[in-house]
Structure 1
């Protein structure tokens, strides 16, 4: 779609992406597809060409330089644009043509901005962006880039553009000592939540208020420590490691990505199985070496946290294992997307390992509807 927009408009274009890895991927694809010189603008490498690729941080930092040079803006992973500061990229660019791409557009009830007006006076136009709630990413994107014009569900793309796939949810039990510790910690956390009535007084923002209070209120602090404890127990449950051992044996000849909720568990798995790990602490050169080794089959498995949710292209990966994560369906779709690159007729498999009869089940339920998965008790 981006290439069609480039060809049909025939104007100077700035492509904005979230990571340097994606910048290099876009650069390679554009060079191969168009056979022309492509500019890049990031870090110490800054070269302007009629078609230039940059990152969100670089585009924001140099918006005064880039803002009047391009007539078409292409935002890859546009769900990042509403973030504080980054939406200023679109505000400070004069480009009349704009295109956004993402597999995880913010949830919406309709495609039309509630702030859209059929006709506005000069005074109204000056106030255009003042009317937008910065906490409403849909309205912000509609005003800065435009409404959604085209969308496809993953299931509509499988078979031709994407690999066929299946998902399996595997439940495990806590060991007795884990269960005792979990029950005690969860009781402390839940007791405070009920007694404070934060959900009644603060609605969807209750957890942020709870976290704020934990900085100065002793009871809130005790509940916060308990919350961190029970989350650690379910995110690093021994039963998940037992299942992972089985999956590594079952798929010993297939490239695999393992996703965890936290660095500590990722490093624990890496040490136990002697496999490379990528986290936010991994240096750029090491990260590149690991990914190159994975693509060349030097490494068969990588364990990671959230840093590989998006921005990498590893078409050989056809097995993903989620051992922990947030309740975000965006994160789920992004992780599934890592194994959906089509390669022949290979089927992609996503395993989701959760702890039975704990909050882990509710977290998993919120990020992925039950009727779309094979649920193994």
Structure 2
């Protein structure tokens, strides 16, 4: 885009025009050269123009600045360090993220100033007006008469078009945001060219020290001559900047965030439109965490006082969240894990709430577990110590758990902003709990399913958001003893079926019998032989790595023995593996240690029970074997998600499912219930098969099981 594509008026005035949005940001965004004469300069102007400056630098932009020697203290410090070539200052001190320049300039404008100077993107000179007697005002206190007050800007775009502006405006946040300013714009391709030429001539003469009444110093000579001084005129700059950020970000469209994918931006815009309450129903591996962090960042920058509470099913996930938040460089006054792994966490929580209320920690992020967040200690601390003027953002990860009766206490009405994350938020056989969640999150949701993630393309990689997978179903049968036990239990179920609504005791007995019978299917002995066949095939192909085997507790020992007999390096991962940091695990928890060893391929196989169903991030896994699986959609969707996340050099995944062929039982009265049970298993199998590469072959096998 060039200047000629912009709607640029000949004159701008504060109170009439939005001089930042209408002029400063779009013009800088199209420019590749910016020459500026200003009476006062502050690096806060870089933050105000962050979007324009970011594009300016991407355009290959260079800035030359002439200003008076009065600067604010922080800018003086960074300028002196750069000029002195301070050995304690390296480019790593700036740590500028080139892919996120806008946020870098907003977050730390002083650091950005230093980076621009050190990188040669900004040249800076200081100017002083001669005194009446012809002497240069170079003493410690520069008089008002000696101050340089001219204000001109000359810009050139990427197509060679040029323009200038001149008037009352300085290069500071206060000038662009608060002050009553006016300036005129002169385009070199219009009748105003004569004025543009005069502005350009004026800049060149001053820059080259050719004006008789002005002395220009480059930064080294200015520091050597001791003419650079701190000015109290900049005390209001941080206030101006904060005011501008709040106004602009309240109008922010998440589609402008270049780090978000289109569907993530759509989800956040829907959340914003729904009063900042929403269920994010997004497939495992599609960036639910990153999406929520963008929402956290937005509120953290636009609310005066905000407490963010992130709750997860387990401490390992809380740590995973904290690592990701830190990696995204979000800034909090306090950023703390609050759960049973922290001694006296309840006292720490109260202390943090009081600090927030006193204005000593305006922005706090707390990472906790569902168990802690729903406890009386936690909820009472929040309700008794949350101060007026403080907003709370509640982020429920794997939020379906919070619909359970014992965890519903975590869903406090005082949480003004809410984000619920889950691939499957609907609770299995719990309509009441599901309704509670839906209401808490504003009766609205955003969906991005496994099918969406397998068919939509990631514009950054040219690949799908998740890798495609093959679904390989193996049929096995119960042995004679298992079949006999299955039929005996079925007969008992049939007798009790018509009595199930008569007494609570009958209902409980019936539920136990149904669960006992389901365990016969889940733990069928023939599954072990089929597992050995699959392992032999994988070993023959050299694919015994990045493998997760999902088992029931009853299957764990036998599966481990099978792996050991083949000299496969494995580790189990259950809820019993510790979540507390220990020295023997390299200052990681036992669970984190196991996962890191699997990622580095020191372990070829992980044998997992329930804990692998929730949020553990292991994108390298590309083979899964289901030894045991329920008909609960949440469980099988999560397990698919464990193996189809994108990862470098990962092109596809394979999911093996060992299923028991249909067992026909007895009892005409019970036949309808039997059909319902088989139908649920068919739904599970067909939903997995529907998105597989080999869906037709898989469906053929599934239909043969009926």
Query: Deviation at 1:331?
Result: 0.2
Q: Which residue of 2 aligns with 1:186?
A: 486
Paired residues for 1:1-377 under 5 Å:
1-10=291-300, 11=303, 12=306, 13-37=308-332, 38-45=335-342, 46=345, 48=352, 50-61=364-375, 62-67=378-383, 68=386, 70-91=391-412, 94-106=414-426, 136-158=432-454, 159-160=457-458, 162-174=465-477, 178-198=478-498, 201-202=500-501, 212-213=508-509, 227=517, 230-231=520-521, 233-234=523-524, 237-249=527-539, 250=541, 252-260=543-551, 262-274=552-564, 275-284=570-579, 285-344=589-648, 345-358=650-663, 364-369=681-686, 372=690, 373=695, 374-375=697-698, 377=701
Per-residue deviation, 1:264: 2.8
Structure 2 residue runs without a partner (length 5+):
1-290, 353-362, 459-463, 565-569, 580-588, 665-676, 702-706
> Cα deviation per residue 1:115-172 (whole Å; 9 max; x = unaligned)?
xxxxxxxxxxxxxxxxxxx851232113222122311111112353632222424223
Instruction: Report the Cα distance in structure 2 between the residues aligned to 1:279 and 1:211, rounded to whole angstroms.
Output: 31
The structure with the largest alpha-carbon Rg is: 2
Secondary structure of 2:425's counterpart equals coil
List 4+ stretches of structure 1 deviating above 6 A: none
1:179 CA drift (Å): 2.2
User: 1:95–1:226: structure 2 CA closer, same or farther, 3 Å change rule?
Assistant: closer
* Number of residue equivalences: 337
Q: Distance in 2 between matches of 1:248 and 1:280?
A: 28
> Whole-Å Cα distance in 2 between the matches of residues 265 and 101 of structure 1?
31
Distance 2:514 2:437 in 1: 35
TM-score for the superposition, normalised by structure 2: 0.44
Deviates more, 1:272-281 or 1:291-300: 272-281
Please report how far the alpha carbon of residue 267 of structure 1 lies from its aligned counterpart in structure 2 after TM superposition.
2.1
1:298: how far off? 0.6
Distance of 2:681 and 2:431 partners within structure 1: 25
**If the length of structure 1 is used for normalisation, what is the TM-score?**
0.78
Q: What RMSD, in angstroms, separates the aligned Cα atoms of the two structures?
A: 3.2
Q: Structure 1: where are the runs of 5+ without partners?
A: 109-133, 215-219
Shift of the 303–245 alpha-carbon distance from structure 1 to 2, 3 Å rule, reads same
User: Structure 1 residue 330: deviation in Å?
Assistant: 0.9
